[in-house]
Amino acid sequence: MIEKNYSGPVTYEDWINLGRIIIPCLKGRPIVKGWSDPSFKVTKEEWKKNYPHCEIALRLDRDVDLDIDNQLAQRFIGHYIKECSAISGREGNPSSHYWWKDEIEFTQFKLPSELKHTFENLPHGAMLCELRHGHDKYTIVPGSKHSKANEYVKWEKYAGLNEYTGDLRADVGKVALSTALCILYAPQGQRDAYCTAIAGVLLKHAQWDVNEIDEFVYNIAIAANDDEALKRRSKGSSGEKANKNLGLPKLAEIIGCSPRGVAELFSWIG
């Protein structure tokens, strides 16, 4: 459960005092030219005079925003994301942004286009989540109204913008892959083979120990509301002992896509 702590930067003065670059926006769009130039800067005086009516967007030069687009991902955050000291959201989409002071390659995690039938009716389509960072990226921050809803963005937790302790890209990859495999979870009658195949792929291609694989598969089964989730908990252990494991071809068959599409999902964890 997230501890509610609403202190944190919410005004243009707050962000500028933190040494951050902020961009004036209306309906989520920058209203100034050159906002992505390394030399771009808005002073307190300029903001007060010209942009008091604008939303505040933080340019992500020094910070990383994990933007959660598919709410299923929330079921896996607690399993794979280490402590986060800054979390924001809005009433209609709580805990949707996780913040760190860090540098990382901008990465989007989205379902392959051949699986369109599984995501075409989702609010954000194929997009599950993204790691946002770079001087050409920005996010509307707490204290401003959301660009697509009549709601204000708020801090749900704020204890500073801190560096991530671990491999953020790898940990978010686990969240994204779990989310995808939960969305694609097999129907009754194929669930055991589905979970066995997930474990088989991980045993063959990932440098994980069997206990990690056991928990990974079990977490997906729980999130997918599998009423026999406990039976899936030893798929890594039992798969290691088996002479022949199910893998990518079987998983692709159950999901209804190409092995290449499944491999694309598993590439998120390397």
Give me the sign of the Cα torsion angle 140, 144, 150, 156.
positive
pLDDT value at residue 253: 95
Query: Rg (Cα) of the chain, in Å, rounded?
Result: 21
Whether 85 contacts 159, CB under 8 Å: yes
pLDDT value at residue 12: 97
HEC profile of 36-100: CCCCCCCCHHHHHHHCCCCEEEEEEEEEEEEEECCHHHHHHHHHHCCCCCEEEEECCEEEEEEEE
Give the C-alpha separation, 218 to 223, whole Å: 9
Q: Which residue has the tokens 């291609």?
A: 205
Cα-flanking dihedrals φ and ψ of residue 107, to 5°? -140, 130
- pTM given for the model: 0.92
- Residue 62's nearest CA partner among 12, 102, 22, 23 is 102
Tens-digit pLDDT profile for the chain (270 aa)? 334 445 799 999 999 999 999 999 999 999 999 999 999 999 999 999 999 999 999 999 999 999 999 999 999 999 999 999 999 999 989 999 999 999 999 999 999 999 998 898 888 899 999 999 999 999 999 999 887 778 999 999 999 999 999 999 999 999 999 999 999 999 999 999 999 999 999 999 898 999 999 999 999 999 999 999 999 999 888 766 554 567 899 999 999 999 999 999 999 998
Report residue 103 as tokens.
Answer: 């540098």
**3-state secondary structure (DSSP) of residue 23:** strand
Whether 177 contacts 268, CB under 8 Å: yes
CA end-to-end distance (rounded Å), the chain: 30
pLDDT value at residue 240: 64
Report residue 209 as tokens.
Answer: 């120990």
Beta bridge partners of 64: 100
Give the C-alpha separation, 87 to 170, whole Å: 20
pLDDT value at residue 3: 41
Query: How many Cβ atoms from other residues are within 10 Å of residue 91's Cβ?
Result: 12
Whether 65 contacts 98, CB under 8 Å: yes
| Residues in CB range of 66: below 8 A, 6 or more apart | 81, 97, 98, 99, 100, 129, 130, 131, 132, 168, 172
Whether 153 contacts 141, CB under 8 Å: yes
